[in-house]
Amino acid sequence: MSQIGRLRSAEISNGNLINADAIAAELDQLVSQANSQDTSITSLLSGSLTISGNKTFSGSSTFSGAVTLSSTVSITGTFKVALPSDPGAPAEGMVWTNTTSHLLKFHDGTTTKILATTDNILTRGFIAGLGLVTGTDTANDIDISVGSCRDSSDAVNMVLAATLTKRSDAAWAVGSGNGGMDTGTKPNNGTLHIWLIKRSDTGVVDALFSVSATSPTMPASYDYKRLIGSRCTDSSGNILNMHQYGDLNYYDTPPALDVSVTNQSTTAITRTLSTPGGRRLEAILNVFISNTNPAPALWIQNLDLADLAPSVSLSPLASVAGETGQGGTRSGSAQVRVMTNTSSQIATRADSAGTTLKIAALGWVDRRGKDD
């Protein structure tokens, strides 16, 4: 007799089921057999689902509760699990999506780890847009154009969806039109470094001004940053206005000459330029030289590199060379690019003593972290 037949023939005596234990065991066996033969789920499920037998899902299913897998599961149809969003206190093994920062997260029982982002992952060092524009208050404000970038730790995307105006004459406060300084006041004859910042808990993106090119004082809860540019100030703390074209930054009106001497010698002399401090940038310079010697020459050098003598005939030649010939004063001029050190310094060296030298800084090239 089949199991079902034996169940049907069960006797009841005085209201009690005879052989209850045996019948219960047979019921468990029937459920197990049915479970192993079930190969599809086609309904919306909620609650908890434990899969203890090998299953092939060939239907279309959405499950909104907890799923426990203790064996092999093959999916030939569609099987969806709705993940909880932003749980207050995640349990060990929980996976969820953060709806603001667009991250897929996992809790291992001790810490929360980022598995992936549901946004497009930008490449390391990526930056587009985020140009710096002179604001309405030309002495204090900077407008930051829309754009996106990867943060400096290569962990998250940061997207600025609308132009943001920050003030250098006020302490930082979230939002456009509010203060931007991380601490203290903006410097006189100094550098403002502009950072894009983000807080991962809410996804809010803002901007911050700092005198530090490496470690700004971050507002509470903001945990990601990216240096997107720098601006110099004059003796009164006013921002020197610029025009930016991608990585190129040009002064609207170049400041006073950085160098104006009549005694440039044949030894290297360190010169300080009107470029942002705290960073190595490629300075864009206009340079003029003159000397009574025929064919005067000047070498402008990156202080990281070897100290070399200029020449009009031998390597490395010259950054700027004057007219050739005899008699009178010979002069020459050129536009030169050279890498500064973090103190905005370069070196100059002439091929003959008593060379007149003038240098005007026009601007600089800022890679904005693309090479970090």
Q: Which pLDDT tens digit goes with each residue over 114-150?
A: 766 656 678 889 999 999 999 999 999 999 999 999 9
Strand 73-75 and strand 55-57: the pairing is: parallel
On average, the pLDDT of the chain sits at 84
Q: Which pLDDT tens digit goes with each residue over 213-228?
A: 999 999 999 999 999 9
Q: Which pLDDT tens digit goes with each residue over 10-32?
A: 554 455 555 656 666 666 666 56
- CATH number of the 251-365 domain: 2.60.120
Predicted confidence at residue 43, as pLDDT, reads 46
Please report the sign of the dihedral spanned by the C-alpha atoms of residue 126, residue 128, residue 130, residue 132: positive
Does the pLDDT at position 64 exceed 90? no
Predicted confidence at residue 95, as pLDDT, reads 74
Q: Which pLDDT tens digit goes with each residue over 81-120?
A: 566 666 777 777 777 776 555 667 777 888 877 766 656 6
The full set of domain ranges for the chain reads 1-37, 127-240, 251-365
Mean pLDDT of 293-308: 94
Question: Which pair of tokens denotes residue 109?
Answer: 């029982």
Instruction: Establish whether the linkage from the previous residue to 254 is cis, with ω within 30° of 0.
Output: no
Q: 57-61, 189-193, 261-265: which has the minimum mean pLDDT? A: 57-61
Predicted confidence at residue 361, as pLDDT, reads 98
The model's confidence at residue 44, banded by pLDDT at 50, 70 and 90, is very low
Question: Which pair of tokens denotes residue 52?
Answer: 């203890």
Q: Please compute Rg for the chain using Cα positions.
A: 35
Residue 128: closest CA among 91, 158, 162, 87:
158
Residue 360: closest CA among 293, 284, 291, 296:
284
